[in-house]
Amino acid sequence: MAELEIPNVEELEELRAKQFTKRTALITAIFAVILAIASLGGNKSSKEMLMSQQQSSDQWAFYQAKVIREHLYRNEKLRLEADLIERGDTMKPEARSHYQTLMKKLGEEEVRYDSEKKELEQEAKKLEHERDINRDKLPYFEYAEVLLQISIVLASIAILSSLHAIFYFSVIAASLGTLLTLNGYLLLFKIPFFH
């Protein structure tokens, strides 16, 4: 009759600890990948926010230049109209015709600058909207990074101590971090104190 070997309890515990360590290490690596994705999203949102702000500021500067030009042409046209009224009938017909031609050109330039400034205003507002969207995304990525870093530390502690409870806290922190990362990319919901 063959002998039946009873497994050693210590060997079983060691085998179970190795399985826990391997599983936890693998999951920790996944947390690190999600952390990298959150970090990438945060960096991109930050850069896009700053770039949109700068471009918006440039558009507003162009807008102001157009407004100044529009006012210059309007003032010049009004000055010519006042001269025309002041001189009245004493003005030669050629000079009157020249004044009227200049006033017409100044009026056309005024209208052109008015329409150009409206286009610049729309573009500046569009860029400000992009800036605001990226600004809204940024806190989600930042908090996600913190939670994912905490989860990696907790998972490392769980490996060293073989405490399953710490590992479960790590999974909870990583799940929240993953959810915030997804929300950073998609803005599915808003958390009031983040804004």
Q: What is the pLDDT of residues 129-158, one digit of tens each?
A: 999 999 999 999 999 999 999 999 999 999
pTM attached to this predicted model = 0.78
By the 8 A CB rule, do 50 and 132 touch? no
Other residues' Cβ atoms within 10 Å of the Cβ of residue 195: 9
CA-nearest of 186, 100, 80 to 136 is 186
Supply the pLDDT for residue 127: 97
Supply the pLDDT for residue 152: 98
Residues 6+ apart with CB under 8 A from 20: 159, 162, 164, 167
* Cα separation, 98 vs 47, whole angstroms: 54
First to last CA, the chain: 75
Q: How confident is the chain (195 residues) per 10-residue block, as mean pLDDT? A: 66 75 95 98 98 97 95 93 85 88 93 93 97 97 98 96 95 98 96 85
